[in-house]
Structure 1
């Protein structure tokens, strides 16, 4: 597989020019760019600039509003519901997380549900905003229905990621950022571009049989919940995914389950929606609402060290702290640059030609 490496600045300038061409304000273009670049920096390549063409296709279909009027439509001192006005989730989500943090600063915790939004990038970006303020951050979203619940042969849920981020002291934050499916759809897309099979347990074909075909979804198959199949704990992944769907959409007034609008532009949203757009859910909790923040961070450092020194099956390996690989990627890529596979580079250059902006 051929890779091309780009500096963060070059990718940032290119990405911002795409969002400006969509009609986003300079402020929104900067923010949307920051969310996507953070994904690439953290090694989550499926949710970074590789998604740009998808956003453009949805914008061309008038399913993304480049100049949304994002507003609070329901509120209490510690909770709120935000209407994203069909804006980029990359912009709507930080707006909502900021409200959760403001409420937490005043009352100890803040909780915000969002409707009428779109794909919001990596959940970790939004949860980490709270960490900067000595808060625990929670971020989740529902997504296009690609996952079959345990025992089903029908797509009813999204990959529905959730993230919990905790500030440490001398160590990087502990960041539990994961899809509630066995694998995110972006990983299948990466396998498709590389023409490689996917691991057992990620997907089933249109007949409900396990498959390693990276094109399973295009051929009528579905992703499996976290835990793979019914014999390996898929009911737990199904339960987590259901929790995300209920908090993000049933609570906010967004579409849920099979009514969630698809990210791909060639599939049309349901003709009979049960809500508005995609849904998100955010939480921020002040650590000093429970104990002094420094005490918590000192003990989280101790927690990290104990797990890092756990006895392992293979002496050459050690227990990985959640968020540790992504942090390492970020430190490395800020210096060495961000690698993109050739098909992504070609796709982005075709997009540049289409939008009449400078190529990468």
Structure 2
């Protein structure tokens, strides 16, 4: 397994041209590119440019509309439902968060449900948009049905990530960005490329037995909820995943549960959908609606400092603030470049050759 380093500008140019080839406008191609590159910069390699082939496959199957008419279809002062018109979730989601922020600027909070969308990249990207406005950002989405509920062996939920982002003053924002499954599917994909086993507790086989096979999903197995099994709190991960599914899809009119359209190539959409596309849910809370923003951010700094100084079990360990590793990755990779595994580079170059785009 070898890694090749690329500059941020090189990957941005390459990714932009792929989206342009798909028919995206300049604005949409730049935005979609920004979402993917931000994932790579933040060390979330499973949701960066390695995902490009997946978006192209969905576009080739006419499941992604690269010229969508994204619009509000239901609205009150502080809430709205948006129809993404089958557009790239990488474009639909920022549109929706901007609407949430605009409502929060006027009324203190904004809450947006989205239907008829697709995979939206990392949840943190969208939640951070609110942080830039001294707001608390909330972002979540349902996803391909790959996760079995506690006591089940049937795929019913997606990895259904949720993100809560809080502004601070001297410190970087606190960002709780996580899948509600024991592991994101992208981590299995990384293990597959590296030809490695995965930790026990991530997946089960078709019979519901524990497995360390990174390709188990292709063989009919399923991901486990956060907590892995009933003895380690999987019902809590199941409950969180269900919450994301209901807010993102049942509320918006998107497909939910086992009807959610898959991102992965080896699964086909349901022949009997119960809604439209994938669903997302966003929230923006103006800190000024609760206390002066600077006071809040100063106390966030105090919160962060106290937790960073918490006594550790071993001297060489440190308490990590949610979002801290991603911030450190971003500083490092902006300076030193973004490493891509050679398998991903080969995949991207094959994609470029097929589409007539200059290779990396």
Count of aligned pairs = 360
Q: Which residue of 1 aligns with 2:81?
A: 81
Structure 2 CA distance for partners of 1:101 and 1:257, relative to 1, 3 Å: same
Secondary structure of 1:243's counterpart equals helix
TM-score calculated relative to the size of structure 2:
1.00
Q: Which residue of 2 aligns with 1:303?
A: 303
Q: Which residue of 2 aligns with 1:142?
A: 142
Shift of 1:350: 0.1
Shift of 1:266: 4.1
Tell whether the 8 Å contact from 1:61 to 1:265 is kept in structure 2 after alignment. Answer: no
Secondary structure of 1:156's counterpart equals coil
**What is the rounded CA distance, in whole Å, between the counterparts of 1:322 and 1:16 in structure 2?**
30
User: 1:213-239: per-residue Cα shift (whole Å, max 9, x none)?
Assistant: 101101110000000111100000000
User: 1:138-187: per-residue Cα shift (whole Å, max 9, x none)?
Assistant: 00000000000000010000000000000001000000000000000000
**What is the rounded CA distance, in whole Å, between the counterparts of 2:224 and 2:182 in structure 1?**
6
User: 1:289-309: per-residue Cα shift (whole Å, max 9, x none)?
Assistant: 000001100001000011001
Shift of 1:318: 1.1
Q: Which residue of 2 aligns with 1:56?
A: 56
Is 2:202 the counterpart of 1:197? no
Tell whether the 8 Å contact from 1:124 to 1:165 is kept in structure 2 after alignment. Answer: yes
Q: Which residue of 2 aligns with 1:342?
A: 342
**What is the rounded CA distance, in whole Å, between the counterparts of 2:302 and 2:264 in structure 1?**
44
Shift of 1:209: 0.6
Shift of 1:314: 1.1
**What is the rounded CA distance, in whole Å, between the counterparts of 1:58 and 1:75 in structure 2?**
30
**What is the rounded CA distance, in whole Å, between the counterparts of 1:249 and 1:6 in structure 2?**
37
5 Å-filtered alignment, 1:279-294, equals: 279-294=279-294
Q: Which residue of 1 aligns with 2:100?
A: 100
**What is the rounded CA distance, in whole Å, between the counterparts of 1:271 and 1:327 in structure 2?**
42
Secondary structure of 1:155's counterpart equals coil
Tell whether the 8 Å contact from 2:80 to 2:113 is kept in structure 1 after alignment. Answer: yes
Is 2:354 the counterpart of 1:354? yes
User: 1:54-101: per-residue Cα shift (whole Å, max 9, x none)?
Assistant: 000000000000000000000000000000000000000000000000
User: 1:260-303: per-residue Cα shift (whole Å, max 9, x none)?
Assistant: 00102342210100000000000000001000001100001000
Q: Which residue of 1 aligns with 2:165?
A: 165
Q: Which residue of 2 aligns with 1:247?
A: 247
5 Å-filtered alignment, 1:251-270, equals: 251-270=251-270
Tell whether the 8 Å contact from 2:206 to 2:220 is kept in structure 1 after alignment. Answer: yes
Runs of 5+ in structure 2 lacking a partner?
Answer: none
**What is the rounded CA distance, in whole Å, between the counterparts of 1:262 and 1:75 in structure 2?**
28
**What is the rounded CA distance, in whole Å, between the counterparts of 1:314 and 1:64 in structure 2?**
50
Q: Which residue of 1 aligns with 2:111?
A: 111
TM-score calculated relative to the size of structure 1:
1.00
**What is the rounded CA distance, in whole Å, between the counterparts of 1:263 and 1:27 in structure 2?**
24
